[in-house]
Amino acid sequence: MKDSGGLAGDGGAGGGGSHLLVRRAMQITMVAVAFVVVWIFLYDSSSPLAIPVFSRYITTTPTGASTMINYDPKLESVLRNASMENKTVIITTLNDAWAEPNSIFDIFLESFHVGIETEKLLDHLVVITLDEKAHARCQALHPHCYQLETKGTNFTKEAFFMTKVYLDMMWRRIEFLGTVLEMGYSFIFTDTDIMWLRNPFNQFYDDADFQIACDYFNGNSNDLNNLPNGGFTYVKSNEKTIWFYKFWFNSRKAYPKMHDQDVLNKIKMHPFISNIKLKIRFLSTTYFGGFCQASKEFNKVCTMHANCCVGLDNKVDDLKILLDDWAKYMELPNDRKSNVHPSWSVPQSCRTSFQRSKNRKNKGR
């Protein structure tokens, strides 16, 4: 209004002002058209790296308007009841094979009870069950259980590595976690074969949007050449992570025979990640170790993962031994804990199973 009034006071200036307004209008139109073209490209389902909308909660349109999308009120209730004050939850997934008595789920819950400052974290643990039997077992042992619709796929039995059921399970997990972010909840995702030995929150980076554990950590938490493990992530809910999870989930089309972790390794250096300014940090195996690269610091370790291990029974055997090692450490007087340097007795069964698996892969090449 102010510019228009000034231009109207002088005929010559008005003519020049009209041209200026036309040029501005053309520039705005060109920017808008370019934005729409980019938007259409991102949503083109024919592109292997397309980013489809699958929001269940509130999504923001290109014009900035908010739209309410349907979501499961049961899920919202479970997340709300388990949430910390800052809307953060701990999430794991569970099927019948891993929920059997004296199997992975029991050992997982036990680790929270014997860990340091971890028992209270059970109040914030949400168990996503993949079948009715697992859901019933979860409800018998834990207050925060949610049964996820699995779209006709049977996730009841042990999902052997890289089978179709395994891949479907991993990608359903990524899709679901993206929904949790869209609902405004940050989360720690943890595989159920991870033992929680210390409260990990002090070891997370304040500046990161997406933090992930590693099979092998090279010492630099910013280095994208680290080898991540999708079994343990800490993700803050914001626009960047919401778009990232959509991008990650849809990237499966470009790599149809890969699981989520290998696809992450393919896309972690993609320009899209830097364009949305997603801050990724890799977590040290000193604090977040596993059978691939064990933590050597009993006084620092937060979690230990039965990675680099093939077979449910092998994982169960070695995780029980791991908790025995931890119990012996915890029995030491506090003044001795800082002076001794214990080591893990594992992997044992897992080492043999993993080596056999590698040998079979090498023979198949």
Tell me how far apart the alpha carbons of residues 124 and 323 are, in angstroms, rounded to a whole number. Answer: 22
Single pTM value for the model: 0.78
Burial of 222 (0-12, 13-18, 19+ CB in 10 A): exposed
pLDDT digits (tens), the chain, 365 positions: 443 333 333 344 444 555 555 456 555 555 444 443 334 334 443 333 333 333 334 444 333 444 455 678 999 999 999 999 999 999 999 999 999 999 999 999 999 999 999 999 999 999 999 999 999 999 999 999 999 876 655 444 444 444 445 556 777 889 999 999 999 999 999 999 999 999 999 999 999 999 999 999 999 999 999 999 999 999 999 999 999 999 999 998 898 878 788 899 999 999 999 999 999 999 999 999 999 999 999 999 999 999 999 999 999 999 999 999 999 999 999 889 988 889 999 999 998 766 666 655 555 44
Evaluate whether 146 touches 128 at the Cβ level (below 8 Å): yes
Evaluate whether 284 touches 204 at the Cβ level (below 8 Å): no
Task: State residue 166's pLDDT score.
Answer: 53
Task: Using alpha carbons, list the distances in angstroms from residue 281 to 54, 91, 119, 239.
Answer: 26, 20, 26, 17
Tell me how far apart the alpha carbons of residues 98 and 131 are, in angstroms, rounded to a whole number. Answer: 11
For residue 108, give the 3-state DSSP assignment: helix
- Cα 263–Cα 183–Cα 140 angle in degrees, nearest 5: 90
C-beta neighbour count of 235 within 10 angstroms: 25
Task: State residue 243's pLDDT score.
Answer: 96
